[in-house]
Amino acid sequence: MEIELRRLTPELAEDYVYFFDTTPHDDQVDEHKCYCICWCSADAEGKDFSTREQRRAYALQYVASGVLQGYLAYQGNKIVGWCNANTKADCLKCASWRRFMAHVPLDDLEQGVKVKSVFCFVIAPEMRRQGIAALLLEHVCREAAQEGFDVVEAYPWKQWDFGGYYEMYKNSGFTVVQETESGYVMRRQLKHPSQNGRV
C-alpha cells in the first residue's frame, strides 16, 4: 500500500474539501459534515457554522489563509486520511476549544513550552484499521520536532473516536498527563534533530 503524506497547503484546498464532501464521518448525516473548521487558529467569536455550505466555505478560506493546518494521506491521487494538527497556543479561541477543552492544562504555554496539538482524524471508511492514522501521527511528530516544537499533545475521547485512540497514542510513545470522565490529555516529548541527530 503506497501512502504519501502531504502537509495541507492552499494548493490542496479543493482536494481537502472534496475529501470531506465525499467521505462519511461522525453520524453519517451529510448535513453534519464538519470540514474540521472548528479546530483551527481562527477566533470563532461571531461566526456562523450552522450549515454545511457555510462550513465548506470557511474551510476553503481557512486553508487558504493557513489557520486550518494538518496533514493529508494520499493513495495515488485520492485522499484517504486527514489529521488536524496545529500550534496549541494559537487555537485557544477556536469553536471546539471553547466548547470542549476547558479541562486541558495551559501551564506549559505560560512556561514557554512549544506544543503541537493533534485534534482530529478522518480516515476513509475503506482504509480504516490499516494504520493510516498511526502514519499520520508519526509524521506530525517528526515534522513538529524539525520545526522546534517541544511536545506533541493529543486528546483522545472515551465516547468519540475523532480524536484518535488511546492505544494508538500509547504505542507511539505518548503518556497520560490528565484523565477526565470524557477523555485523556496525552503527551509525547520530542527530540529535535540537533539532539544527537535523533527524533
pLDDT digits (tens, 9 = 90+) for 62-99: 999 999 999 999 999 999 999 999 999 999 999 999 99
Query: What is the architecture, at CATH level 2, of domain 4-189?
Result: 3-Layer(aba) Sandwich (3.40)
Strands 151-154 and 184-189 turn out to be: antiparallel
Segment 2-32, tens digit of pLDDT: 999 999 999 999 999 999 999 987 656 667 7
DSSP H or E run through 11: none
**pLDDT band (50, 70, 90) for residue 137:** very high
Average pLDDT, the chain: 93
Q: End-to-end alpha-carbon separation of the chain, Å?
A: 25
Between residues 193 and 195, which one has the greater pLDDT?
193
3-state secondary structure of 117: strand
Beta strands (DSSP E) in the chain are: 4-7, 70-75, 78-87, 115-123, 151-154, 175-179, 184-189
Q: Give the pLDDT of residue 24.
A: 80
pTM, rounded to two decimals: 0.92
Question: pLDDT-derived band of residue 57, with 50, 70 and 90 as boundaries?
Answer: very high
**Is the pLDDT score of 198 beyond 50?**
no
The confidence score (pLDDT) of residue 28 equals 61
Kindly indicate the confidence band of residue 199, based on its pLDDT and cuts at 50, 70 and 90. very low
Percentage of the chain exceeding pLDDT 70 = 93
> What radius of gyration do the chain's Cα atoms show?
16
Whether 117 shows a pLDDT value over 90: the answer reads: yes
- 130 pLDDT more than 50: yes
Average pLDDT over residues 194-199: 52
Give me the residue spans of the domains in the chain. Answer: 4-189
CA distance 143 to 132: 17
